[in-house]
Amino acid sequence: MKLLISNDDGISALGIRTLANTLAEAGHDVSVVCPDRERSATGHGLTLHQPIRAEMVEALFHPAINAWACDGTPSDCVKLALWALLDSPPDLVLSGINQGANLGTEILYSGTVSAAMEGMIEGIPSIALSLTSHTHKDFQPAAKFAQLLVDHLAAQPLPDLMLLNVNVPPISWEEIAGVTVTRQGVRRYVDVFDKRVDPRGKTYYWLTGEVLEDVEPPPGLNVPPNIPIDVEVIRKNFISITPLQYNLTCANGLHQLSTREFKFT
């Protein structure tokens, strides 16, 4: 398959090198376009008020891979690849492997998920891949699963356009309990700003945060309740696959509000 790979951890990140090299060695046609530095938690930001530059990168990846480092956001990278750098559209857009989880409500901030989402917006099925640890450095199990998943999708394409948000526990391949299709849970942060003073006497704030896992999403989301939750299955050493869409319309809200009469005078 023809694959476009991006990330938000930057061109030098071990996760993207492991993913791209594994897929290239498996015989896939791989191109990499990703930020030239870490751009985590950028959401779906786009660069509008300055030019975007991309330079070809050699030596970091498998010899068969064409790679570019871009000075824009993850979403910029995928958009630039699809509209300017690649000679034809890829069959799949992959983003990752991210250093750290993208579970629950974290996906709203995730540059990793946003890069994959950009592919889906352009009509290309996409996969976001994350290793659920900020310190574990063995990306090979996640890359191995990515290869299996890509091969599966080549044989059995997705029935509808969607993004598969994949989170892999930070354990060996032999310790992984299995693979589970999940719904999005709740993994939010209690935002704590640390107030400090710089050497010039100016006050500034440093965003920290404590993660809270409520697990169960709020009611009314019109999602089958019998499907396990991403946050929960990771705790049990399962790989989580959550299908996502970019349409944020609240179905229950449509039903509840469509019978109301709104006055504008």
Res 217: pLDDT: 59
**Mean pLDDT, the chain, integer:** 91
Percentage of residues in the chain having pLDDT higher than 70: 93
Give the residue from 118, 126, 125 showing the smallest Cα distance to 70. Answer: 118
pLDDT tens digits, residue range 183-240?
998 877 677 788 999 999 999 988 877 666 655 655 556 667 788 999 999 999 999 9
Res 193: pLDDT: 84
Which phi and psi angles does 214 have, rounded to 5°? -80, -15
Those residues whose C-beta lies under 8 Å from the C-beta of residue 149, and which sit 6 or more positions away, are 127, 164, 166
Q: Where are the domains of the chain?
A: 2-183+220-255, 186-215
Mean pLDDT, to the nearest integer, of 136-149? 97
Q: How far apart are CA 110 and CA 39, in angstroms?
A: 10
Neighbour-count burial for 2-35, b at 16+ CB within 10 Å, e otherwise: ebbbbbbbbbebebbbbbbbbbbebebbbbbbbb
Give the residue from 144, 44, 30, 36 showing the smallest Cα distance to 90. Answer: 30
Res 121: pLDDT: 95
Mean pLDDT, to the nearest integer, of 240-261? 88
pLDDT tens digits, residue range 153-176?
999 999 999 999 999 999 999 999
Res 219: pLDDT: 58
Size of the chain, expressed as the number of residues it contains: 265
pLDDT higher than threshold 80 for residue 67: yes
Look up the CATH number of domain 2-183+220-255.
3.40.1210.10
> Which pTM does this prediction carry?
0.91
Which phi and psi angles does 4 have, rounded to 5°? -110, 130
- Identify the weakest region by mean pLDDT among 6-10, 126-130, 255-259: 255-259
Res 214: pLDDT: 58
pLDDT higher than threshold 80 for residue 135: yes
DSSP annotation of 105 reads G
Res 216: pLDDT: 61
